[in-house]
Amino acid sequence: MDSDWQPFFGAMAVVSVVVLAVLLAALQLASSRWRGSPLKEVAAVLAVLALLVPLVGSLVALMPGTSWRVGFLVMGGAGVCGLGWQAASYLRREEEADTFDDRQVQWGLPVSLAVYVAVLAFSCATASWAVYVVAGLSVWLVLAGLAGAWVLLARAARPQPTPTVSG
């Protein structure tokens, strides 16, 4: 790895781990808002996975003698697998899905798939500028993971209308 990128990957690892720690604490404290709903549980795991991709990719990039590409290839593949799990879970439980779950599949899944495929593609690219794209996508994944968890917890915190009994 070019030594010019070591400070970036070091900073990305630190930012990712701090945001991941805060995210895990928030998800744990508000677990009653998403536990018990399999589709919400998948959304919570995918938010954590979005932070793990730049974290693990950056840590592997900082390892002596290891190409920066290795960690991002592995974790980009993990991201694609996570999205496959989301799609399969949604198809199995589509009748239980609410508006949040529908939007996750209609908007979140295609955008995330594009990002993870781009991480894989540019990690395989031999161009010297490919690392710039992967670095930008890493920043995007940190923000997307944080936003995904925030939307999940904010959506689940809204009071649900209580049914009234007539008669």
Decide if 166 is inside a domain.
Answer: no
Host domain of residue 139 = 3-156
Decide if 164 is inside a domain.
Answer: no
Decide if 55 is inside a domain.
Answer: yes
Decide if 71 is inside a domain.
Answer: yes
Q: What is the pLDDT of residue 14?
A: 98
Structure confidence at residue 162 as a pLDDT band (50, 70, 90): low
Q: How many domains does the chain have?
A: 1
Residues 32/158, Cβ–Cβ less than 8 Å: no
Decide if 35 is inside a domain.
Answer: yes
Q: What is the pLDDT of residue 57?
A: 97
Decide if 163 is inside a domain.
Answer: no
Structure confidence at residue 2 as a pLDDT band (50, 70, 90): low
Decide if 165 is inside a domain.
Answer: no
> Can you tell me the mean pLDDT for 67-81?
97
Q: Is the pTM of this model over 0.75?
A: yes
Decide if 162 is inside a domain.
Answer: no
pLDDT digits (tens, 9 = 90+) for 83-93: 999 999 999 99
CA distance 27 to 30: 5
CA distance 76 to 70: 10
Quick one: CA torsion of 79, 80, 85, 90, rounded to 10 degrees?
A: 110
